[in-house]
Structure 1
């Protein structure tokens, strides 16, 4: 058997729990037959709204409009009473809300990477043109993508490359991107048709039905103990999202922001910047927190006013309050963590 050099991970149903449960839950709330809404997503072959969205031919907003027409047509043809309250946007939100991160899979990625395996995330997804501040599913998914970019080598999104699974072209693209032959890769997915297409190319496949069983198969395929607990790496400045707000005093505050859940605000001391927290960000994110780390006034990419009176304790606290006020579209609460001196260990 060819020695494996890379592992390809699907997202939905592998790294996060299957979004189908959210579809079924929403359909049930409307009194629709089981699997009706999911069934419409596969009707019409490659030209239906769902598959066009995953190839990037439709944005999320455009998909919702087209998909609603398809659902209404299918309901009429099948003599199903479709309530006027059916809303594809709510369906989309339910899909996102039903998903949680499968931490053992994240740990497996870290273990494989530690032992020299190339990691590729390969997902069928969509271009979300809704406003992130008003769309929790948008923020949650892209927050996950940011996390995955830190712990993997490559992330391939169907909507960005115009190809979706199970097309053999997307698997070939993944192999070419990693510089390997298909026989040198292992692929994990929860959908049989995706695995079947990859297997025909010579990729070793693992169907994820039970996470523990799939990880044991992955251990057998790679020879790596993917169950051994790993510590997440430091975040990379070029991969994390950098944002800015302007305070009431007219100062610009730079901050990084990752994750979902209760907020942990990490404040650096003298003479540092947000980067001092690089080893703590990913562990906190994986523990279920949204982590916000600013550059304090006078540091990093934040404003550095020349007046010494701008750096009083009151002024510094007001700048942090202004940052939180600017992010008040989310309900911010949680633990305030203060890093006061530079000699506190920052490594794992």
Structure 2
């Protein structure tokens, strides 16, 4: 028997725009050096705040102040000032609320499933404990019914 499976990511594939794609656009809008926010996001590597967030070791509200501190440190290293109103929470709230289902990609997944493929969403997500978390929950509820499996990094600790 041949395994027939199709695996889809959430961010930037099944849902647009990509939440983490907002980092570059934010740098541009705030006239920050290219890569500064991405450096802050990746700070600490495998034991850093973002990796811990994706593994479900900390919640989004616990991650935000850690990310704020990473941004501050990276801006100091780059010898630039963050705007006074700089807010990781606002940046991510806006990015998360802007996400919509990528209908053509969902249709492709549905067609593959109809043709007998096992379909899955494999995605890096976080434990969203914000008051505004309903948007992400609704998005996941709408998508997961169309797939055989939903594998979230924060749930499986990867």
TM-score, normalised with respect to structure 2 = 0.90
Deviation string 1:162-196 (CA, Å, 9 cap, x unpaired) is: 11xxxxxxxxxxxxxxxxxxxxxxxxxxxxxxxxx
CA–CA distance in structure 1, aligned partners of residues 53 and 4 of structure 2: 32
Equivalent pairs, count: 157
**Cα distance between partner residues in 1 of 2:42 and 2:12:** 18
Kindly state the Cα deviation for residue 140 of structure 1 after the two structures are TM-superposed. Answer: 2.3
Q: Which blocks of at least 5 consecutive residues in structure 1 are unaligned?
A: 164-348
Is the contact between residue 22 and residue 97 of structure 1 (CA under 8 Å) also seen in structure 2? Answer: no
**Alpha-carbon contact 2:14-2:102 (below 8 Å) kept:** yes
Q: Secondary structure at the match of 1:84?
A: coil
**Post-superposition CA distance 1:285-330 (Å, at most 9, x none):** xxxxxxxxxxxxxxxxxxxxxxxxxxxxxxxxxxxxxxxxxxxxxx
Counterparts of 1:252-291 in structure 2, within 5 Å, are none
State the distance in 2 between where 1:23 and 1:139 align: 23
Tell me the residue number matched to 2:143: 148
Hey, what's the Cα distance between the residues in 2 that align with 1:25 and 1:83?
Answer: 15
**CA positional deviation for 1:29:** 3.2
2:124, 2:81 → 1: CA distance?
31
Post-superposition offset of 1:90: 0.6
In the aligned structure 2, how far is the partner of 1:117 from the partner of 1:140?
29
Report the CA distance shift for 1:38/1:92 in structure 2 as closer, same or farther (over 3 A): same
The 5-angstrom pairing of residues 1-348 of structure 1 reads 3-17=2-16, 18-131=18-131, 135=132, 138-163=133-158
Distance in 2, matches of 1:27 and 1:51, equals 21
- C-alpha spacing 1:99/1:33, structure 2 compared with 1 (3 Å): farther
8 Å Cα contact 2:120-2:151 kept in structure 1: yes
**Per the alignment, in what secondary structure is the counterpart of residue 12 of structure 2?**
coil
1:254 equivalent in structure 2 = none
Q: Cα deviations across residues 30-61 of structure 1 (Å, max 9, x unaligned)?
A: 32122321221112211111111001111011
Provide the rounded CA distance (Å) in 2 between the counterparts of 1:34 and 1:26. Answer: 10
User: Higher relative contact order at CA 8 Å, sep ≥6: structure 1 or structure 2?
Assistant: 2
The alpha-carbon distance between structure 1 residues 100 and 149, as it changes in their structure 2 partners (threshold 3 A), is closer
Structure 2, gaps ≥5 residues long: none
CA radius of gyration, larger in:
1
How far did residue 158 of structure 1 move? 0.5
Greater share of residues in helix: 2
**Secondary structure of 1:41's partner?**
helix
TM-score normalised per structure 1: 0.43
**1:98 CA displacement:** 4.3
CA distance, structure 2, for counterparts of residue 49 and residue 95 of structure 1: 19
